[in-house]
Amino acid sequence: MRRRNFLKNTIGLGTVAASSTLSAPAIAKGKIQWKMVTCWPKNFPALGTGVQRIADAIYAMSDGRLEIKVYGGGELVPAFEVFDAVREGIAEMGHDAPYYWTAKHTAMPFFTCVPGGLTAQEHASWIYFGGGQELWDELYSKFGLKAFLAGTGGCNVGGWFKKEINSLNDLKGLRMRMPGLGGEMLSRIGAIPVNLPGGELLPALQSGAIDAVEWIAPYNDLAFGFHKIAKYYYAPGIQEPGSALGLTVNLEAYNNLPTDLQNIIKYAAGDEAFRMLSEMTAGNAYSLNTLLEKHNVVLKQFPKDVTDAMFKAAAEILLEKAEENEFTKKVYQSWFDYWSKVTKLSKLTELGYMTLRSNYERSS
């Protein structure tokens, strides 16, 4: 008992309440050792490398006091059990996409991305300065968790297809990997959404279990090798214009840390929110060139009847979700109010500039 009280009250070693379901944190030579489980293959471009950067940043900024061991999807727990693993204390933190947990609460997708929604930069501005973080805290506290924005896949492409999509009819009955509300959007326009973790996508596409696949963008898609199976690459996509990722932390474990270590976790996550987008942008630029020049991928855009149907279905889904419960309605209203303002701004800033730039051909 004297040893337990000593550990409980020692500054810098963290505390765990006696009634906690968490096991006491591993402590070696003054270090706190935590586990981080993820939804991604270990060291996968941007997602996996970004997770390791978070762990390395926490270790460096804490001068080695907080050490995070990273587990790729399936190493400690299956990829789609990350949320529960952190909630139950199997690991103290996880890295995931909140829309994977829609079965937990219908508001979850708004903290990753929704079809026809915000870009990565716009989403970050809603989280940090538009009231999003406060709503995220309110939702996750019900599960004994706390989450921080900690990366993004940026704007997703429309996906890889074995055959051309010339009209809306070509999507009827097509089996396509697409999670979250994007999957619901697909279902509304006649396709059959399938939700699979990253490691299962290429075998499913190769075997014919699915006809098409959407993952992220050229950087990650090239690494998976989708171009070996599907010839047609459709972009841009509507389902995820800025898929945000979260660092999910067990709230009890987080509260038991000294304030400086809490802040180190917060700012390490925030740094990666920008850094991952930067790696993804650079990687996408180089990888797209490889896909087009080396692998002769056929780059296509969806026909207008397809994109119109997607936007219409997306808007209907969001309105319906907003009516399912009071909290989701509150999140939707905050999100939609911000969406209305920031989309007006984009015409004057990035969108306006990029439209002008795309119409100007610069000589080499």
pLDDT at 2: 40
pLDDT at 197: 83
Sheet hosting strand 212-213, strand order edge to edge: 192-194, 175-177, 212-213, 159-161, 232-234, 298-300
Q: Which of 305, 166, 154, 158 is nearest to 244 (CA)?
A: 154
Cα 143 to Cα 146: distance, rounded to the nearest angstrom: 9
pLDDT at 26: 57
Position 120 in a domain? yes
Number of other CB atoms surrounding residue 228 within 10 Å: 11
Residues in the chain: 364
Position 185 in a domain? no
Residue 236 near residue 157 (C-beta atoms within 8 A): yes
pLDDT at 364: 59
pLDDT at 182: 93
Low-confidence stretches of the chain (pLDDT beneath 50): 1-21
Position 6 in a domain? no
CATH of the domain at 127: 3.40.190.170
Residue type, 216: I
Position 38 in a domain? yes
Position 364 in a domain? no
pLDDT at 361: 73
Position 26 in a domain? yes
Count of structural domains within the chain = 1
Span 114-139, pLDDT tens digits = 999 999 999 999 999 999 999 999 99
Position 78 in a domain? yes
The residue range of the domain holding 132 is 21-155+242-281
Position 254 in a domain? yes
pLDDT at 8: 38
